[in-house]
């Protein structure tokens, strides 16, 4: 039939093994897999390259770069999302949760101003079929901000919202337990002098004391009632993890200590770490290394965070001898595991009946994306 595609001479990376053979795709799904090469003339030869599931990205701020490519420059939102989508799909990402900040703690940030334009752009682009990857929304709820709860209640009914994270970037705890790192990050990023930094930090502490816990409890309850996937963020202590588990969190984003990562893993939260952390060899905030958690078997999901192409590179790096993931195990961190954690059970795996979101990868020095299919249609 005309809608059938045969991919031949390819190393298919399933959830458990690597299989050399061929694959039949029809009606946008994987229909069959064979350990024998196809002899049909229409079969596409992939020259022994890897075929992996389309990557599933849960937490990326990359769209913001296209909305504000330079300080003071606002880019048209629909053009921005198409540019962002070009970078995403060329990185092998076929499902992406664009992270939108609900509550802006940056002293000179544009996140609140960009929130509605970005949400509108995602919504319209998906409704009109303007992107090659499938874009969903991750609402990042900064619980220390006075307007977070109000804004969350206005936005969470959007049909593309599929993930909510609870975060608190106020000084003296979680990601910024080290106050010198807090000052270094915000002064370096926003050019504040010492007096401005003192005033900013004091304001954030006051807001956290007033708003953080009420917002954390209310937003979490709302997500549980709606069945929205819920993620903690920057948990650092056993008490943080116990609270996250009690509130129904399914994902532990960027735990900052071994204690928090280990307990999250034990309690069934999927531990998510940054792919840039793997590629660079450490955290830019001085927190625990993703390499180290992977060596302990505590790393479940990778996220590209701010650098889309890092996702595929980091997954392959997990197979290095000093880390020790098998290739199927490593690919699960960027496909099956993230998909299942946000209740998407139709993708993220090379298996019969799953959506044919697929990526052809040639690997030598670095993994290189050769072709990408979204629901059986070649999009890159």
Quote the pLDDT of residue 110. Answer: 56
pLDDT digits 0-9 by tens, 310-331: 999 999 999 998 999 999 999 9
Confirm if 9 and 35 have CB atoms less than 8 A apart: no
Residue 107 has pLDDT above 60, yes or no: no
Answer yes or no: is pLDDT of 111 > 50: yes
Mean pLDDT of the chain: 91
Q: What is the pLDDT of residue 178?
A: 65
Q: Which of 77-86, 154-163, 273-282, 347-356 is the least confident region?
A: 273-282
**Whole-number pLDDT of residue 109:** 56
Q: Which of 67-81, 296-310, 341-355 has the lowest mean pLDDT?
A: 67-81
Global confidence as pTM: 0.91
Residues 6 or more apart in contact with residue 188 via CB below 8 angstroms:
none
Tell me: pLDDT of 108 over 60. Answer: no
Q: Give the mean pLDDT of 295-308.
A: 95
The DSSP-derived string for 2-50 is: TT-EEEEEEEEE-SS-EEEEEEEEETTEEEEEESSPP--TTPEE-TT-E
- Give the start-to-end residue ranges of the domains of the chain: 1-53+348-380, 55-346
pLDDT tens by residue, 186-236: 766 677 888 877 777 777 777 777 888 999 999 999 999 999 999 999 999
**Cα–Cα distance between 253 and 314 in angstroms, integer?**
17
Q: Is the pLDDT of residue 127 over 50?
A: yes
pLDDT for residue 375: 97
CATH for the 1-53+348-380 domain, from 3.40.50.720, 2.30.40.10, 1.10.3210.50, 3.20.20.140: 2.30.40.10
What are the pLDDT digits (tens) for 17-74? 999 999 999 999 999 999 999 999 999 999 999 999 999 999 999 999 999 898 888 8
CATH 3.20.20.140 fits 55-346, yes or no: yes
Q: What percent of the chain has pLDDT over 70?
A: 92
pLDDT at 184: 67
pLDDT tens figures, 244-294:
999 999 999 999 999 999 999 999 999 999 999 999 986 655 678 898 999
- Check residue 315 and give its pLDDT: 97
What pLDDT, on a 0 to 100 scale, did the predictor assign at position 295?
Answer: 93
Among the ranges given (99-108, 147-156, 233-242, 249-258), the one the predictor scored with the smallest mean pLDDT: 99-108
Cβ neighbors of 119 (< 8 A, separation 6 or more) are 100, 137, 155, 158
pLDDT at 1: 44
Question: For the range 21-26, what are the long-range contacts, defined as Cβ-Cβ under 8 Å and sequence gap of 24 or more?
Answer: 23/51, 23/350, 25/356, 25/358, 25/373, 25/376, 26/1, 26/376
> Are 271 and 265 within 8 A, CB to CB?
yes
Q: State the average pLDDT over residues 118-134.
A: 96
Contact predicate 145/207, CB 8 Å: yes
């Amino acid at each position: 039939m005309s809608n059938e595609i045969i991919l031949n001479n390819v190393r298919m990376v399933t959830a458990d093994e690597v299989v050399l053979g061929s694959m039949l795709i029809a009606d946008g799904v994987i229909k069959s897999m064979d350990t024998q090469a196809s002899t049909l003339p229409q079969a596409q030869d992939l020259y022994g390259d890897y075929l992996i599931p389309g990557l599933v990205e849960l937490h990326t701020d990359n769209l913001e770069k296209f909305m504000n490519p330079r300080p003071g420059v606002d880019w048209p939102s629909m053009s921005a999302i198409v540019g962002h989508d070009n970078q995403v799909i060329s990185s092998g990402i076929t499902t992406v949760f664009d992270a939108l900040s609900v509550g802006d703690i940056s002293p000179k940030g544009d996140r609140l101003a960009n929130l509605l334009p970005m949400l509108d752009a995602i919504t319209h682009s998906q409704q009109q079929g303007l992107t090659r990857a499938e874009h969903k929304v991750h609402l990042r709820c900064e619980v220390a901000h006075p307007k977070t709860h109000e804004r969350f209640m206005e936005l969470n009914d959007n049909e593309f919202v599929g993930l909510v994270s609870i975060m608190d970037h106020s000084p003296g705890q979680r990601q910024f337990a080290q106050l010198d790192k807090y000052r270094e990050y915000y002064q370096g990023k926003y050019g504040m002098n010492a007096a401005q930094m003192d005033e900013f930090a004091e304001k954030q502490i006051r807001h956290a004391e007033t708003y953080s816990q009420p917002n954390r409890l209310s937003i979490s309850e709302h997500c549980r009632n709606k069945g929205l996937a819920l993620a903690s963020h920057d948990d650092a202590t056993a008490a943080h993890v116990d609270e996250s588990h009690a509130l129904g969190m399914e994902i532990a984003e960027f735990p900052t200590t071994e204690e928090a990562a280990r307990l999250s893993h034990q309690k069934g939260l999927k531990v998510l770490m940054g792919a840039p952390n793997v590629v660079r060899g450490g955290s830019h905030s001085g927190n625990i290394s993703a390499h180290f958690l992977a060596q302990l078997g505590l790393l479940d999901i990778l996220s590209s965070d701010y650098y889309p192409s890092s996702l595929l590179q980091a997954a392959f790096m997990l197979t290095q001898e000093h880390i020790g993931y098998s290739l199927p195990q490593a690919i699960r961190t960027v496909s099956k595991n993230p998909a299942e954690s946000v209740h998407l059970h139709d993708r993220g795996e090379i298996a019969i009946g799953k959506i044919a979101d697929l990526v052809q990868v040639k690997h030598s020095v670095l993994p290189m994306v050769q072709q990408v299919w979204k629901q059986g249609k070649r999009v890159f």
